Structure 1
Amino acid sequence: MELLTASSATFSPLPSNFPSFTFKATISKSWKSHPGIVEARLQGFLLRTRTTISKRLGICCNSVGPFKEEFLFQHFCQLNKGFSSQCGLISIRYRSSLLKVRSCSDRIRQCVSVLFVQLVFTAMLVTSTTIALSETPSLALSEENRLFLEAWRTIDRAYVDKTFNGQSWFRYRENALRNEPMNTREETYMAIRKMLATLDDPFTRFLEPEKFNSLRSGTQGALTGVGLSIGYPTASDGSSAGLVVISSMPGGPANRAGILSGDVILAIDDTSTESMGIYDAAERLQGPEGSPVELTVRSGAEIRHLALTREKVSLNPVKSRLCVVPGPGKSSPRIGYIKLTSFNQNASGAVREAIDTLRSNSVNAFVLDLRDNSGGLFPEGIEIAKIWLDKGVIVYICDSRGVRDIYDTDGTDALAASEPLAVLVNKGTASASEILAGALKDNKRAVLFGEPTYGKG
């Protein structure tokens, strides 16, 4: 419902022969929303007033003479003034009011335009300042900072858990660059190790150049040590303390001392392995040929203290032999047995040589023994899979966004894709060995026998 306001306005004195009268207008409180209604009512009033006055003065209502225009203009202004002063709530100034509204609207538009330009300029200034400030630190980064950022970006791109163990990875980078000392290479390595430790992932590790070279030496044919392959304990091991023996190299010092897959190394030279990384442990196990090393080993419920002597261990990855299974008549199956102990740089070539030798002895089938094979070079595992497969996918490499790479084969490198094949695995089968065994099984090329594998591949 509209609230109506009645106001009266009296014209200023007119000539004596001009009768006085009172003007009453009913205006809606929401007149701004309906200017057309106000204008129409006002025009109607003026028309009726003009007609009445014209009749009283004996002037034709259609007259267009100067007297009429002057009269109407003069008294309309008087009406406008009186009405404005007495009403006190609203002010109506017909055409001049419309002009003022238009003028005010123009000024508002100009002000808004100026304000908009100022806001855009300010935003551009702030943005350019922010960019300049954000670029300043990158320009001032030291070589040590850039090394740290390279490690950070590697994890950011490839790490499968994009929550990064429930932390803001970008905020960690900024805080580390601001707070972690990186004045020397060792301090930078420490900052990288500290960053990776926040992921709480034993299989994501940083290798300094010396340790990386040590790892490579273990895949190049020979090393000096005790012949052990070690890893972190898993849930199936029943203990989180110490380091687990994945495999013990046949004929090596550890193997001769009776250390087997599944045993736990509790200490190396009286240093506990509870919080020791596997690469620190590998470095302690290796050393000059003939030097001693003491191990504390738990085998089941028994704890043993063993003194071993380091030797140069040959890493010949393949051993093979012909096995003839006794049977009736002359149709005894001839099985080619291939033991693959590691995936070093000679592994795929050695497997090919073994297959050629066994085929010359007319074998009917093959057994590939991957027990206690702790892995090694990933590319060698792919090449060995191609030897046995005529086609198919070997492995998918995935990250948090999905499949990144696909390693497959079209059969070009196949050497033994037709004979029956059995693969032997155990809990010491890990890493590249698990990839190979899984590829042969999934492509229905081989049947697997043994026990659950280590679970790293």
Structure 2
Amino acid sequence: MVNRLGDRWRRMGAFLALICTLMATGLIWSSPALALTAEQKLFNEAWRIVSQAYVDESFNGQDWWSVRQKALSQPLPDRPSTYTAIQKMLASLDDPFTRFLPPSQYRSLQTSTSGELTGVGLQISIDPATGILQIIAPIEGSPAAAAGLQPGDLILAIDQVPTQSLSLDEAAEKMRGPAGTVVTLNVARGSGDAAAQNLELTRSRIEINPVVAELRPQEDGHRLGYIRLTQFNGVATEEMAQALQKLERQGADRYVLDLRNNPGGLLQAGVDIAELWMEPGVVVYTVDRKGLLGSFNTTHQPLTKDPLVVLVNQGTASASEILAGALQDTGRAQLVGDRTFGKGSIQSLFDLSDGAGLAVTIAHYETPAHHNINKVGIEPDRTVSLRTPLGINEIASNADSQYQAAIGVLTDLEMVATGV
């Protein structure tokens, strides 16, 4: 009797141990009550995207599974609560470029990269030291350009809402809106020492034509092709190719490519535009979460092999730095201006099932010479700083010392090539 009872308890203990093991490994559920609600499923969807795609497998040194469990143990009664939980989760990564985009902001971002938008026409960034919104550049022909806003100006408030309380996407969303409506910006010039002023801007539809090109005959008989690229959107590659082909037909024999205040955009556009200038080879290396190297390469001959100088400054960022770094490292061009911004990470956009989206850092990149420029930037071959910001009509003029220096570098290159 004692032996039979002991065997029964041993069998029962083994069965309970098996159940506990299955529960711990997630092979069975402990209770039907663990089924996820619709809000929890949306949070879990965002969590899974980051889990599978984010570049840092340590997730900023935290237990990523515990982040999920803690969030799902809290009530998520409605969609705003879910969005807040997703934003809190992403904030724990301490990565300003990995961010949540509600449906309206996600649509706006997709629209801006497609080539047109409705708003005031500003390219903006947030100063990481102060959290204040800063103008990278106004879009030519936009309400912002007509109002005289300049690179480096600070936007302190939008419709009386302090910008330090807004994310970059929230600020951009507040400045967009139907054509004909008015938005009030509280703006301080430069460092912010001057008194801020309120400017009322009337929103309009802005077609983003990212390429400005012009043939400029020089006094020494050369024919300079000047090209300014303002961003890498969905039409940038085609417009760059058309501009370059036209300048070649017009007899251009040297080029200045102006990437100043170009905040970047689509990675593939940067690679495709590099192919218009470079011999076949590596444009950029990517380093994923496993530390494995990938690369984007050019495979075709360039549209021109004429001498090239590239203008850069602190507003040259992301895809602009990929292009500038590739042209510099391969010896295709010399860089003139100021050190670039230093954004060496690559983001990808992911759809959520309710129309929202995530921008997630999926890799870091290195230039062809394996320079990691993140938070460092690219040092130009010739450093030339502007004493005061340029107005729109002063860019690439006699008043533009960086542009004049670029022409000087081209002249020096010609002298070396001819042995003078």
User: TM-score under structure 1 normalisation?
Assistant: 0.67
Tell me which amino acid in the other structure corresponds to 1:170.
Answer: W
Residue identity over aligned pairs, in percent, reads 44
Specify which of 370, 377, 386 is matched with residue 275 of structure 2: 386
Q: Which residue of 2 aligns with 1:289?
A: 179
Q: Alpha-carbon deviation of 1:244? A: 1.3
Specify which of 296, 304, 325 is matched with residue 218 of structure 2: 325
Range 269-278 or range 116-125, more displaced? 116-125
Q: Alpha-carbon deviation of 1:135? A: 7.4
In 2 relative to 1, CA 336–265 (structure 1 residues): closer, same or farther, beyond 3 Å? same
Q: Which residue of 1 aligns with 2:126?
A: 232
2 CA distance for matches of 1:138 and 1:115? Answer: 30
The answer as to 2:290 corresponding to 1:401 is: yes
Deviations 1:52-79 (A, max 9, x none): xxxxxxxxxxxxxxxxxxxxxxxxxxxx
The answer as to 2:45 corresponding to 1:158 is: no
Deviations 1:325-368 (A, max 9, x none): 212xxxx2211111111212111000110111001111112211
2 CA distance for matches of 1:441 and 1:364? Answer: 19
In 2 relative to 1, CA 125–157 (structure 1 residues): closer, same or farther, beyond 3 Å? closer
User: 2:163 touches 2:171 (CA, 8 Å); kept in 1?
Assistant: yes
Deviations 1:4-50 (A, max 9, x none): xxxxxxxxxxxxxxxxxxxxxxxxxxxxxxxxxxxxxxxxxxxxxxx
Q: Which residue of 2 aligns with 1:308?
A: 201
The answer as to 2:260 corresponding to 1:371 is: yes
Q: Which residue of 1 aligns with 2:188?
A: 298
Q: Alpha-carbon deviation of 1:146? A: 2.7
Q: Alpha-carbon deviation of 1:447? A: 1.0
Tell me which amino acid in the other structure corresponds to 2:332.
Answer: R
In 2 relative to 1, CA 386–136 (structure 1 residues): closer, same or farther, beyond 3 Å? farther
1 CA distance for matches of 2:257 and 2:70? Answer: 51
1 CA distance for matches of 2:13 and 2:182? Answer: 76
2 CA distance for matches of 1:380 and 1:439? Answer: 14
Secondary structure of residue in 2 paired with 1:424:
strand
Q: Alpha-carbon deviation of 1:153? A: 2.3
Q: Unaligned stretches of 5+ in structure 2? A: 1-6, 345-420
Q: Which residue of 1 aligns with 2:308?
A: 421
2 CA distance for matches of 1:179 and 1:321? Answer: 59
The answer as to 2:43 corresponding to 1:148 is: yes
Q: Alpha-carbon deviation of 1:446? A: 1.3
Deviations 1:393-415 (A, max 9, x none): 222232332136421122x2x33
Secondary structure of residue in 2 paired with 1:219:
helix
Task: Calculate the aligned-residue CA RMSD, in Å.
Answer: 2.6
Q: Which residue of 1 aligns with 2:338?
A: 451
Tell me which amino acid in the other structure corresponds to 2:205.
Answer: K
Q: Which residue of 2 aligns with 1:218?
A: 112
Larger radius of gyration: 1
Superposed, which structure 2 residues align to 1:335-346 within 5 Å?
335-346=224-235
Superposed, which structure 2 residues align to 1:223-302 within 5 Å?
223-234=117-128, 239-299=129-189, 300=191, 301-302=193-194
Which of structures 1 and 2 has the larger relative contact order (alpha carbons within 8 angstroms, sep 6+)?
Answer: 2
Tell me which amino acid in the other structure corresponds to 1:451.
Answer: D
Q: Alpha-carbon deviation of 1:377? A: 2.1
1 CA distance for matches of 2:331 and 2:265? Answer: 24
2 CA distance for matches of 1:270 and 1:354? Answer: 42
Q: Alpha-carbon deviation of 1:174? A: 0.5
Secondary structure of residue in 1 paired with 2:130:
coil
Range 439-448 or range 274-283, more displaced? 439-448
Tell me which amino acid in the other structure corresponds to 2:278.
Answer: L
2 CA distance for matches of 1:187 and 1:137? Answer: 24
Secondary structure of residue in 2 paired with 1:316:
coil
Secondary structure of residue in 2 paired with 1:217:
helix
Range 169-178 or range 300-309, more displaced? 300-309
2 CA distance for matches of 1:137 and 1:251? Answer: 60
Deviations 1:252-293 (A, max 9, x none): 222222221122111001110112011111111111212221
Q: Which residue of 2 aligns with 1:41?
A: none
In 2 relative to 1, CA 135–397 (structure 1 residues): closer, same or farther, beyond 3 Å? farther
User: TM-score under structure 2 normalisation?
Assistant: 0.73
In 2 relative to 1, CA 269–358 (structure 1 residues): closer, same or farther, beyond 3 Å? same
1 CA distance for matches of 2:279 and 2:11? Answer: 69
Q: Alpha-carbon deviation of 1:417? A: 4.9
In 2 relative to 1, CA 138–192 (structure 1 residues): closer, same or farther, beyond 3 Å? farther
2 CA distance for matches of 1:359 and 1:454? Answer: 31
User: 1:242 touches 1:275 (CA, 8 Å); kept in 2?
Assistant: no
User: 1:202 touches 1:232 (CA, 8 Å); kept in 2?
Assistant: no
2 CA distance for matches of 1:382 and 1:354? Answer: 17
User: 2:23 touches 2:30 (CA, 8 Å); kept in 1?
Assistant: no
2 CA distance for matches of 1:370 and 1:305? Answer: 30
Secondary structure of residue in 2 paired with 1:422:
strand
| Residue-pair matches, total | 335
